[in-house]
Amino acid sequence: MKRQIPSGFDETNFLKTIDNIKLLFNERWLNKNPTKNILKKLWHRKDFLAASELYIIGIGINKLQNNDYTDWLKDLYKQINKNKEAPIYGIMYELFIYTLFQNKIELAVPNQAHYDLKIIKEKQFIYTSIKKLTTSDQEKELKQNFIDLENFYIKELKKNNLNGLSLYLQFNDYKNFNLESAKIIIKKTLTSKRNLTGNNFFTILKEIKCNSDNFIINDNKISHQFNLVIPYDEREQKRFINLFKKASNNLNKIDECNLIIIGLSSTIDMQTAKKWIINEFNKNKYTRISGVLLTQYLPAQNIKENSTHLNLQFNFIYNINAKLKIDFTDETFKMELPIGTISQKNSNYHMITDNGSLEMTEHYIFQSGYKLCEHLFGKMEYNFSYVPHLTEEILLLNKQIGTLRPIGDKCVLL
């Protein structure tokens, strides 16, 4: 299968940039046991989102080579080969930030204790500690539970001769979620064919409709939507603050403008992370930290143009108690994304119901669906590329960035 190329790029130059990865890691190594390494998995995917990530990595490798960062390239090679998840995500995020900034910058020596990157201005140095917040064990477990529950939901639809239904299941506390209890709730909801409310949960069952009046749900395959929403485990905030404190401790011995850069996982919403940072700054314990730059890199859909690409959201949080201030301007931080878009307007999840919209923060949000429609006046079937929250008639979870909307899972490495 041929690798997909995002629109607007010359195929030859695009693939040549990606080949920088092959030149560094060796094609034989990339093809050996491709399911055993994070980078190898990404390399063997042919979709355009994977190609976009590989392109950015290729740009970064080329930039390192052009600036004679031989030790850094050796460390990148070593960390990828070790195949430990956290170090790989960490070093790849550092490479991404190095690629993103167009200022005059210097990378620190690999494994240097105090900072990762230095931004050089005429009369000022800005030292940065770069950290990547990876997916928590709690979320990984919930993700697997969600997959199990979706499969169970589909089986129950078949058992009850039901089709074309959307089920929304929300718990009011992380500690109240239990896989077997959730199965019982799903079963009772479908058996009764009505919404249920319990002490620690509620469900909403609704009909899925096709996007046009000329189409109806086809009975040859189960069409469904399933949403599972659970409040964050309290450990999510603790692990985020621990990452922030680790970065702060790294910079404490540097008497300059100090900046922490944190890449959020796809689950932690930007506004919640910003609130956590502000709470820490208000304690007046981090006077050597000038600010925090939060970033989140997600696949997004342009609703008007019906196209999909990568979008980088960012948010800068000033420390009003800092000894040295940073002016956050386009001149201070020149950011240029090799592919995709950059947005300072942060997206938020919303639950859309017949009664209006409710913003959803501090929740794990999982959703999946499949819809098969057929034309009323013919036997031809249409398998719609179905993102559950694109259908307006049903309850949905909608994450808007202006005219953009993140879709699917997080990026693999960035």
- The residue type found at 395 is L
Residue 195 is predicted with a pLDDT of 96
Q: Compute the distance between CA of residue 98 and CA of residue 335 in angstroms, rounded to an integer.
A: 10
Structure tokens at 171: 């718990």
Based on DSSP, count helices (H) and strands (E) in the chain, helices before strands. Answer: 10, 18
Among 350, 288, 351, CA closest to 319: 288
Residue 353 is predicted with a pLDDT of 54
Residue 352 is predicted with a pLDDT of 59
pLDDT, one tens digit for every residue, the chain (414 residues): 688 888 889 999 999 999 999 999 999 999 998 888 999 999 999 888 889 999 999 999 999 999 999 999 999 999 999 988 889 999 999 999 999 988 889 999 988 889 999 998 877 889 999 999 999 999 999 999 999 999 999 999 999 999 999 999 999 999 999 999 999 999 999 999 999 999 999 999 999 888 778 888 888 889 999 999 999 999 999 999 999 999 999 999 898 899 999 999 888 889 999 999 999 999 999 999 999 999 998 776 665 565 667 788 899 999 999 999 887 766 677 888 888 888 876 666 666 555 555 667 899 988 888 888 887 776 555 555 444 443 222 222 333 322 333 334 445 566
Q: Compute the distance between CA of residue 272 and CA of residue 298 in angstroms, rounded to an integer.
A: 17
Parallel/antiparallel/unpaired status of strands 257-263 and 291-302: parallel
Structure tokens at 303: 């609703």
Question: What sign for the dihedral angle of Cα 134, 337, 399, 302?
Answer: negative
**Cα→Cα distances 401→69, 253, 316, Å:** 36, 38, 17
Q: Compute the distance between CA of residue 46 and CA of residue 380 in angstroms, rounded to an integer.
A: 29
Residue 405 is predicted with a pLDDT of 35
Residue 220 is predicted with a pLDDT of 83
Q: Compute the distance between CA of residue 103 and CA of residue 46 in angstroms, rounded to an integer.
A: 33
Question: Residues 184-201, buried b or exposed e (16+ Cβ, 10 A)?
Answer: ebbeebbeeeeeeeeeeb
- The residue type found at 243 is L
* pTM for this prediction: 0.86
Residue 388 is predicted with a pLDDT of 44
DSSP state of 355: T
Parallel/antiparallel/unpaired status of strands 117-121 and 124-132: antiparallel
Structure tokens at 16: 């040549």
- The residue type found at 61 is I
Residue 14 is predicted with a pLDDT of 95
- What is the DSSP track for 304-344? TTTEEEEEEEEEEEE-TT-SS----STTTS-B--SSSEEES
Residue 14 has a CB neighbour count (10 Å cut-off) of: 20
SS (H, E, C) 84-145: CHHHHHHHHHHHHHHHHECCCEEECCCCCCCCCEEEEECCEEEEEEEEECCCCHHHHHHHHH
Q: What angle do CA 16, 22, 24 make, to 5 degrees?
A: 110
